[in-house]
Amino acid sequence: MKLPNFLKLSAFFVMIVYALLIVTTSISEVFHLPYCQTFTYNSSQNVTKIGQNSFTASQIKNCLMQNGFENIKRLRLDDKGIWRALVKFKKSHFFVSVDYSGTVSIQNERKKYD
């Protein structure tokens, strides 16, 4: 039985897409960022713990971006070992802080716009 060329090409295309999905999923499972998986969100102010922070600025920025925060500005490590930044999340700007254990605390709402 001979199949038409367009049917062969479409079957080949589907197999390629399926293979790419499997490869992409397996790569994301192998190369995960462990420092991002411990993050939790807290909306109260006094949750951050003072202590020596081992995260780098790029690690904090990547984790905040992976957790849905955008437009990260003024990322600084204060003298208490807490990373602080101004971020955008769902069309609002917030002050966030990240302590040495990876807890993300949302300080307050900065401003809201359409």
Is the CB of residue 32 less than 8 Å from the CB of residue 5?
A: no
Structural domain range at position 4 = 1-31
Per-residue pLDDT of the chain (114 residues; tens, 9 = 90+): 677 888 888 989 999 998 888 877 766 555 555 555 444 554 545 556 566 667 788 888 888 888 788 888 888 888 888 888 988 888 888 888 888 777 788 876 555 544
| Domain count across the chain | 2
Same domain assignment for residues 49 and 26: no
Same domain assignment for residues 83 and 43: yes
The model's pTM is 0.53
Same domain assignment for residues 61 and 86: yes
The per-residue pLDDT for 50 is 67
The DSSP symbol for 55 reads -
The per-residue pLDDT for 33 is 52
> What one-character-per-residue DSSP string does 9-49 give?
HHHHHHHHHHHHHHHHHHHHHHS--HHHHT-EEE-SSTTPP
Same domain assignment for residues 3 and 48: no
The per-residue pLDDT for 38 is 45
